[in-house]
């Protein structure tokens, strides 16, 4: 197996690593590589997939569909398969992944390692709740984990620390086709935004929020509700690319405010309903490859938290801090979450989740620290898939099942060979 010295980064590009990376193509190769952490398309924003100074295994070539039962909807697939490819292949046949994150480039292994959630978390739960079986390599030995076992719960959302994920069996969801009927409505302020999210009975619901709006307009945004459908429509082919790192003024405060104003007003005051391709609804940013370059060479940080239903006032206070800072980007999302979670370190809890990007600047890092403290005070938690700045003591306290996870990880990887930069930064594996 060839190891290549590589410089690489998470999707936010603010945190980087340098080390040897192998890209195996066969199961025989994998057996000799199971003592190094795995990575897929590196769509986690921070350092969850980084191993500075060490070795990492690139699983992107393990992307085959191994078997599908058209009666039960059970799909066996390798860990490097991408969610968007699975959706594109199966939706016309009447099946789709039960839970999909905001990018189709996420791999099955990555979705398991972060126990990702989607626009239907309020009624479908997290990704791991639809995994029927997962196969791991632990020190070269194959192990199988199924729901109900401690190994399974340590693996779902377990940051790849219980072994190298090779394949999984997913319970797919029946669907009508590869189109989405989407209703868009304006929310004119914070209270209306929450009311629309709380009152939604749609299968899929998400809110875009204008994180620059202040005063009476604070919290305004657009709530999208989606239902799956079938039919024919003309699709645009190809995707755009960002050819270079944008200059620092590309996301200056006046630019972002103008964009947000225009984006809010693109939806008529009375709302509208339209038909979109499945991928345009679930993965809207995937049509712009390398969109992370819009934040410039220094990259960006994303802050994502979830707070309990009773702590909505704390989230509103965070939004006030963000709007007052003038640091927000146009990418800000608000969702209502249900209680569903599959693992000891799974992010979701019943409540509201806010996700927002900030350019990698000193003042933004200071702001994110304040937001993290406010999250802790509200009884919420931060998302490992997005975090790049938190400190160990604060984030560890947000996960009450940490010790159960640690016990399983210690059995699966006693030498700590699978530890990543994030695991070390947050001291997750130490008592």
Which tens digit of pLDDT belongs to each residue from 215-251?
999 999 999 999 999 987 766 667 788 888 888 778 8
How far is Cα 162 from Cα 418, in angstroms, rounded to an integer? Answer: 8
Q: Do residues 362 and 389 lie in contact, with contact meaning Cβ atoms separated by under 8 Å?
A: no
| Contact predicate 222/267, CB 8 Å | yes
Return the pLDDT at 237: 65
Task: Examine the fold and report which residue of 115, 144, 175 is the final residue of a domain before the chain moves on.
Answer: 175
Burial 160-190 (b: 16+ CB within 10 A, else e): bbbbbbbbbbbebbebebbbbbbbbbbbebb
Number of domains in the chain: 3
Specify the pLDDT at position 251.
84
Q: What residues contact 286, with CB distance under 8 A and at least 6 apart?
A: 84, 103, 104, 105, 239, 279
In a domain, 407, yes or no: no
**What does the pLDDT read at residue 161?**
98
Q: What is the CB neighbour count within 10 angstroms for residue 91?
A: 22
The CATH number linked to 171 is 3.30.465.10
Within 76-227, where are the H helices? 83-90, 108-114, 121-124, 150-155, 190-199
Statement to judge: residues 284 and 352 lie in one domain: yes
Per residue of the chain (431 residues), what is the pLDDT tens digit?
789 999 999 999 999 999 999 999 888 888 888 899 999 999 999 999 999 999 999 999 999 999 999 999 999 999 999 999 999 999 999 999 999 999 999 999 999 999 999 999 999 999 999 999 999 999 989 999 999 999 999 999 999 999 999 999 999 999 999 999 999 999 999 999 999 999 999 999 999 999 999 999 999 999 999 999 998 776 666 778 888 888 877 888 999 999 999 999 999 999 999 999 999 999 999 999 899 999 999 999 999 999 999 999 999 999 999 999 999 899 999 999 999 999 999 999 999 999 999 999 999 999 999 999 999 999 999 999 999 999 888 899 999 999 999 999 999 999 999 999 999 999 999 98
DSSP assignment, residue 246? P
> How many residues are there in the chain?
431
Collapsing DSSP states into helix, strand and coil, what is residue 130? helix
Q: How far is CA 322 from CA 167, 325, 380, in A?
A: 41, 5, 18
Residue 319: inside a domain, yes or no? yes
Residues 295, 326: one domain? yes
Residue 88 lies in a domain: yes
343: left (phi over 0), alpha (psi -120 to 50) or beta: beta
Co-location of 12 and 97 in the same domain: no
pLDDT at 236: 65
Residue 148 falls in which region: left (phi positive, over 0), alpha (psi -120 to 50) or beta = left
Closest alpha carbon to 44 in 8, 89, 85: 8
Rounded Cα gap, residues 112 and 127, in angstroms: 7
Residue 431 token pair: 């008592």
115 contacts: CB under 8 Å, gap ≥ 6:
126, 127, 128, 156, 157, 341, 342, 343, 345, 346, 347, 348
With contact defined as beta carbons under 8 Å apart, do 25 and 61 qualify? yes
Query: Which two structure tokens, joined as six digits, stand for 118?
Result: 């989607």
Same domain, 240 and 285: yes
Q: Let me know whether 76 and 29 are in one domain.
A: no
User: Which residue is it, tokens 């952490």?
Assistant: 37
CA distance 121 to 387: 20
Write out the residue range of the structural domain in which residue 43 sits.
4-58
Q: Please tell me whether residues 335 and 255 are part of one structural domain.
A: yes
Specify whether 222 is located in the same domain as 314: yes
What span, in angstroms and rounded, lies between the C-alpha atoms of 284 and 278? 10
Residue 209 in domain: yes
Do 149 and 255 have their domain in common?
A: no
State how far the Cα of 199 lies from the Cα of 179, in Å rounded to an integer.
24
Contact call for residues 189 and 219 (beta carbons, < 8 A): yes
> Final residue of a domain: which of 141, 159, 175?
175
- The span from the CA of 136 to the CA of 142, in Å, is 6
Do 391 and 289 reside in the same domain of the chain?
Answer: yes
Judge if 186 and 334 occupy the same domain: yes
Please give the Cα distance from 300 to 358 (Å, whole number).
Answer: 6
What CATH number is given to the structural domain containing 315?
A: 3.30.70.2520
Same domain, residue pair 267 and 362: yes
Query: What is the full DSSP assignment across 350-399?
Result: SEEEEEEEEES-HHHHHHHHHHHHHHHHTT-EE-TTT-SS--HHHHHTT-
pLDDT at 239: 75
What's the number of CA atoms in the CB half-sphere (13 Å) around residue 267?
A: 21
């Amino acid at each position: 197996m060839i190891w290549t010295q590589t410089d690489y980064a998470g999707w936010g590009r603010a945190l980087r690593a340098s080390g040897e990376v192998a890209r195996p193509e066969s199961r025989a190769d994998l057996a000799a590589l199971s003592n190094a952490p795995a990575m897929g398309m590196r769509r986690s924003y921070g350092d969850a997939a980084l191993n500075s100074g060490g070795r990492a295994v690139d699983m992107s070539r393990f992307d085959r569909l191994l078997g599908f039962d058209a009666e039960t909807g059970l799909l066996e697939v390798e860990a490097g398969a991408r969610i968007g490819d699975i959706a594109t292949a199966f939706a016309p046949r009447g099946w789709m992944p039960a839970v999909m994150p905001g990018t189709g480039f996420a791999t099955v292994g990555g979705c398991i390692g972060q126990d990702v959630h989607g626009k239907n978390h309020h009624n479908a739960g997290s990704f791991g709740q639809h995994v029927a079986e997962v196969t791991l390599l632990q020190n070269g030995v194959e192990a199988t984990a199924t729901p109900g076992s401690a190994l399974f719960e340590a693996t779902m959302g377990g940051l790849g620390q219980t072994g190298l994920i090779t394949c999984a069996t997913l319970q797919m969801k029946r669907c009508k086709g590869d189109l989405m009927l989407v209703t868009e409505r304006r929310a004119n302020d914070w209270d209306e935004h929450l009311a629309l999210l709380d009152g939604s009975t749609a299968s899929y619901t998400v809110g875009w929020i204008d994180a620059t709006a202040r005063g009476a307009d604070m919290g305004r945004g657009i709530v999208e509700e989606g239902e799956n459908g079938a039919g024919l429509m003309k699709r645009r082919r190809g995707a755009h690319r960002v050819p270079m790192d944008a200059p620092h003024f590309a996301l200056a405060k006046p630019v972002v405010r103008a964009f947000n104003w225009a984006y809010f007003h693109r939806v008529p005051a009375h709302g509208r309903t339209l038909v979109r391709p499945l991928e345009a609804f679930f993965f809207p940013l995937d049509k712009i490859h390398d969109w992370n370059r819009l934040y410039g060479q220094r990259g960006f940080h994303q802050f994502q938290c979830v707070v309990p239903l009773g702590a909505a006032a704390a989230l509103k206070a965070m939004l006030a801090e963000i709007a007052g800072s003038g640091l927000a980007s146009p990418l800000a999302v608000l969702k209502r979450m249900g209680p569903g979670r599959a693992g000891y370190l799974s992010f979701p809890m019943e409540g509201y989740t806010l996700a927002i990007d900030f350019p990698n600047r000193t003042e933004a890092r200071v702001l994110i620290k304040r937001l993290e403290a406010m999250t802790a005070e509200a009884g919420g938690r931060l998302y490992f898939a997005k975090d790049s700045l938190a400190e160990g003591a604060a984030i560890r306290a947000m996960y009450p099942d940490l010790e159960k996870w640690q016990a399983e990880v210690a059995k699966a990887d006693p030498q700590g060979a699978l530890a990543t930069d994030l695991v070390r930064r947050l001291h997750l594996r130490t008592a």
